[in-house]
Chains A and B, each alone.
Chain A
């Protein structure tokens, strides 16, 4: 469990619908907060990595423009993309550059301004994160892709629509106390009742997934500042160390996927690598952020990360084991479901939550005395899997 690279600063904007500013101004907000957190000046930063999903922005090659706006020129900068897991991959690359001795301090900035295009355009672009040659011609979109997994889970693993509903109820429990979340309202079971005319979560989207099973689009940015051990000791009173990093990829086409009732395979593959590198196992994790772009994704994450046996993720939500007081608190910041999912900013936002938890600075969302935290960030429909494990000093 080497302590070579630490997170020394974190920042995140409020996640909102329709941010009234440009992407460079959005990025600046998260960057400024992280720089103040780490007590750095721009001269202390050796390199920057910018992360987002392309096609939302009219700006081509955004790294140069953003680096200039953040005052990080002439230091090296570049852009990285793995759709929804872009900024976790950015952190992995920042880690690698520091570990290789190229740089001492690296800024990783994830951003997305989804509101520049309409919801229908957004669905089409996200759908094209799948296979555009063989699948998009059928009219695919993200909720439908995840619904294929959900349907198989309902049929084979004894999962119920009420279990999925309860994942959303949990997310909203914490979205209400996270002032940075886009969805701040509570969600009650009756909000999913199809017989209730006021049920705001019950409308069908892609069967069996309903409105309440889907995360919210949002605009937002996140910033993670990484440093080597020497600089971490100088700049940070509470460095949070990266203990393990795992990543994996999966075939894109649904026709080439293994059994849908066994969940998303990249999470398992990435988790195995991260656990081995960190020298810990699922039982050692005290707080986790998982990629709940849809309620079914959180259930699959429980299994992929080894928090529950394969096919039995439903038990954790039934036992409330993933609530703040449970044995493995998951997404106690509202998750993607309530906090919102500004694609490129999401991984960094998850990592920020874990860092604040491990520094005992998570306010009303604070889990009791966590030592080891984990983030699970999936890009596309289980296309890119990323699991990172963090520990306190």
Chain B
């Protein structure tokens, strides 16, 4: 279902976690949690790698995490050229939950360890993603 709408350009059309895109449209960035063993996953998974259960629920990412690392790409791969330069980063929410995304375009002077949050982002062409902003 509709996963080709995810990101600047999606390489995957169908996934059982396609609801992620609908949740983004509702303003939520969510991962999945295993109903059997409680393992949390971000990005979301439809199946649990720890106990092999298929019974998963959604959970909202914490509001605040810390910037673990980042890089500003001066060149972009094929299909992303118009966006360069852009900064990609990893956010650590603690308890083993992290997220990888771009920093918001207006995110100035990123520093490792600073407080950040993630939020949905809609592009003009209808694509939808999430980005990292200052908390």
> CA A123 – CA B78 in complex, angstroms?
7
CB distance from A93 to the nearest CB of B (A): 26
Q: Which of B10, B12, B74, B77 contacts A205 (CB 8 A)?
A: B74
Interface pair A140/B43, CB less than 8 Å apart: no
Q: Does B64 contact A (CB under 8 A)?
A: no
Q: Which residues of B have CB within 8 Å of A128?
A: 11
Q: Does A124 contact B (CB under 8 A)?
A: yes
Q: Does A248 contact B (CB under 8 A)?
A: no
CB distance from B78 to the nearest CB of A (A): 4
Interface string of B63-80 (1 = CB under 8 A from A): 000001111111111111
Q: Which of B8, B80, B112 contacts A152 (CB 8 A)?
A: B112
Beta-carbon nearest neighbor of A140 in chain B: B88
Interface pair B98/A120, CB less than 8 Å apart: no
Q: Does B56 contact A (CB under 8 A)?
A: no
Q: Which residues of B have CB within 8 Å of A206?
A: 71-75
Interface pair B69/A260, CB less than 8 Å apart: yes
> CA A139 – CA B71 in complex, angstroms?
12
Q: Does A101 contact B (CB under 8 A)?
A: no
Q: Does B90 contact A (CB under 8 A)?
A: yes
Classify chain A: how many residues form its interface, as a range.
Answer: 35 or more
Interface string of B11-41 (1 = CB under 8 A from A): 1100100000000000000000000000000
Q: Does A253 contact B (CB under 8 A)?
A: yes
Using a CB-CB cutoff of 8 Å, which residues 62-113 of chain B contact chain A?
A: 68-81, 83-84, 86, 88-90, 98-102, 112-113
Interface pair A141/B79, CB less than 8 Å apart: no
Q: Which residues of A have CB within 8 Å of B81?
A: 120
Q: Does A121 contact B (CB under 8 A)?
A: yes
Q: Which residues of B have CB within 8 Å of A260?
A: 68-69, 90
> CA A123 – CA B74 in complex, angstroms?
13
Q: Which residues of B have CB within 8 Å of A256?
A: 98
Q: Does A100 contact B (CB under 8 A)?
A: no
Q: Which residues of B have CB within 8 Å of A124?
A: 77-79
Beta-carbon nearest neighbor of A120 in chain B: B78
Instruction: Given A152-B68, A253-B43, A255-B42, check contact A139 B73 (CB 8 Å).
Output: yes
Q: Does B129 contact A (CB under 8 A)?
A: yes
Q: Does B9 contact A (CB under 8 A)?
A: yes
Q: Which residues of A have CB within 8 Å of B78?
A: 118, 120-121, 123-124
Interface pair B100/A135, CB less than 8 Å apart: yes
Stretch of A143-151, A327-335, A345-353 at the chain-chain interface = A143-151
Q: Does B6 contact A (CB under 8 A)?
A: yes
Q: Which of A149, A155, A209 contacts B112 (CB 8 A)?
A: A155
Q: Which residues of B have CB within 8 Å of A253?
A: 43, 100
Instruction: Given A121-B78, A152-B68, check contact A137 B8 (CB 8 Å).
Output: yes
- What are 22 contact pairs spanning A and B, CB under 8 A? A118-B78, A120-B77, A123-B75, A124-B79, A131-B43, A133-B11, A137-B6, A138-B100, A138-B129, A139-B76, A139-B79, A141-B77, A147-B71, A151-B71, A151-B112, A152-B69, A155-B113, A203-B74, A205-B74, A254-B90, A257-B90, A260-B69
Chain A residues close to B by CB (< 8 Å): 118, 120-121, 123-124, 127-128, 131-141, 143-144, 147-152, 155-156, 203-209, 253-257, 259-260
Besides A134-B43, A255-B98, A260-B68, 16 other CB < 8 A contacts? Answer: A133-B43, A134-B100, A137-B6, A138-B102, A139-B84, A139-B88, A147-B73, A148-B88, A150-B71, A152-B69, A152-B112, A155-B112, A205-B75, A207-B71, A207-B72, A254-B98
Chain B residues close to A by CB (< 8 Å): 3, 6-12, 15, 42-43, 68-81, 83-84, 86, 88-90, 98-102, 112-113, 129
List the 7 closest pairs (A to B, CB-CB), nearest first: A137-B7, A139-B80, A147-B71, A124-B77, A124-B78, A134-B43, A132-B11
